[in-house]
C-alpha cells in the first residue's frame, strides 16, 4: 500500500508536470515526504519505476535527436537533388531535316542547327544557333561536320570552328579533292562561365551538307557545376 502511493507520487509530477508538493498524501504509515528529484533517497521501492521512467525519457530524447538529424540530412539531400534537377543542361541538335547545303560564303557564319533532339534547360536557341551557358561549370561539347563535293574529283572544303564568345576553341578542317565526301568530329571538355555564348562557325569558303540522316550535329551538356 505504501509502496503504491510513493510510486504514484513519483509518476504524477512527470505526467502532470507539476510540483508534487502541491499534492497532499495522507496515506497511513508515511514517515518521510518523497523527494521528487531523487525518490530513491527516501523510498527504495520507487527506484525501479523512476529509473525506468528516466531510461524511457533518455531513450525518447535519443530517438528524437536522431530523428531530427536524419530529417536535417534528408532535407539537405533533397535540396541538393532539386538543385541538380533544376539546373540540368543538355542539348543535342542536327543541322537540318531535309537536304540542305550551306556555303561557300565570303565570311565566317554561325550555323543554325534547326533539328532538335533534346534541349533540356532550353539553353540552345534554335533561331540563333547559340548555346548560352546557363550556369558556370565544366561542359562537354561535341560537333560533327559533313560535306559532299557533289561529284567525284570536285573540290571538298569542310571547315568549321567551335567558338566561345566569338573566339575559336577548336576547329575541324578538311580541304581535299580526292574524296567526294568528308566527315569529322571534335569533342572537348571546357570550363565555361554563365552567359558564355557557344556557336559553331562555318569558315569562309567552306561548305557543309545535311539531310534527314543528320550528318551534322552539335551537342553539349553540363558535366558538373562549379558555382
Ligand atoms: C520527442 O518529440 C516529441 C514530438 O516532437 C515530443 O512531444 C517529446 O516531448 C520529445 N521528447 C523528448 C524527450 O524530447
Ligand atoms: C532566341 O533568340 C531570339 C533572338 O535573339 C529571341 O528573340 C528568342 O526569344 C530566343 N528564344 C529563346 C527561347 O530564348
Identify which ligand lies nearest to the alpha carbon of 128.
2
> Is there a single domain that holds both residue 74 and residue 95?
no
> Is there a single domain that holds both residue 63 and residue 105?
no
User: Residue 106 sits in which domain range?
Assistant: 89-225
* pLDDT at residue 181, rounded to an integer: 87
Contact 4, 43 (CB under 8 A): no
Q: Which residue bears the cell 573566339?
A: 167
- The pLDDT tens digits for 24-55 are 445 455 556 666 666 566 666 667 777 888 89
From the CA of 57, how far away is ligand 1's center (Å)?
A: 9
pLDDT band at 175 (very low <50, low <70, confident <90, very high): confident
Which residue is closest in CA terms to ligand 2's atom 1? Answer: 125
Within a domain: 19 = no
> Is there a single domain that holds both residue 82 and residue 94?
no
pLDDT band at 2 (very low <50, low <70, confident <90, very high): very low
* pLDDT at residue 150, rounded to an integer: 80
- The pLDDT tens digits for 194-215 are 999 999 999 999 999 999 999 9
Verdict on whether the full-model pTM lies above 0.85: no
* Antiparallel, parallel or unpaired: β 181-192 and 217-225: unpaired
From the CA of 154, how far away is ligand 2's center (Å)?
A: 39
One-character DSSP codes across 119-159: EETS-EETTTTEEE--S-EEEEEEEEEEEE-SSTTS-EEEE
- The pLDDT tens digits for 92-127 are 999 999 999 998 999 999 999 999 999 999 999 999
- The best mutation among 55, 60, 67 to test binding of ligand 1, ranked by most ligand atoms within 8 Å of the C-beta, falls on 60
Amino acid at each position: 500500500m505504501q509502496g503504491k502511493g510513493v510510486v504514484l507520487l513519483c509518476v504524477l509530477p512527470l505526467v502532470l508536470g507539476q510540483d508534487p508538493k502541491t499534492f497532499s498524501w495522507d496515506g497511513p504509515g508515511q514517515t518521510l515526504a518523497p523527494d521528487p528529484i531523487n525518490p530513491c533517497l527516501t523510498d527504495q521501492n520507487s527506484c525501479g519505476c523512476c529509473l525506468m521512467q528516466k531510461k524511457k525519457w533518455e531513450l525518447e530524447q535519443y530517438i528524437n535527436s536522431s530523428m531530427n538529424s536524419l530529417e536535417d540530412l534528408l532535407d539537405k539531400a533533397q535540396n541538393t537533388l532539386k538543385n541538380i534537377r533544376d539546373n540540368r543542361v543538355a542539348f543535342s541538335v542536327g543541322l537540318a531535316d531535309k537536304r540542305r547545303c550551306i556555303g561557300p560564303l565570303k565570311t565566317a557564319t554561325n550555323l543554325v542547327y534547326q533539328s532538335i533532339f533534346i534541349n533540356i534547360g532550353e539553353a540552345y536557341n534554335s533561331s540563333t544557333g547559340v548555346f548560352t551557358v546557363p550556369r558556370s561549370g565544366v561542359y562537354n561539347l561535341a560537333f560533327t561536320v559533313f560535306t559532299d563535293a557533289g561529284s567525284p574529283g570536285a573540290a571538298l572544303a569542310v571547315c568549321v570552328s567551335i567558338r566561345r564568345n566569338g573566339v575559336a576553341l577548336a576547329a575541324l578542317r578538311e580541304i581535299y579533292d580526292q574524296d567526294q565526301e568528308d566527315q569529322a568530329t571534335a569533342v572537348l571538355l571546357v570550363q565555361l562561365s554563365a552567359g558564355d555564348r557557344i556557336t559553331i562557325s562555318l569558315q569562309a569558303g567552306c561548305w557543309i551538307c545535311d539531310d534527314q540522316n543528320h550528318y551534322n550535329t552539335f551537342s553539349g551538356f553540363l558535366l558538373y557545376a562549379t558555382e
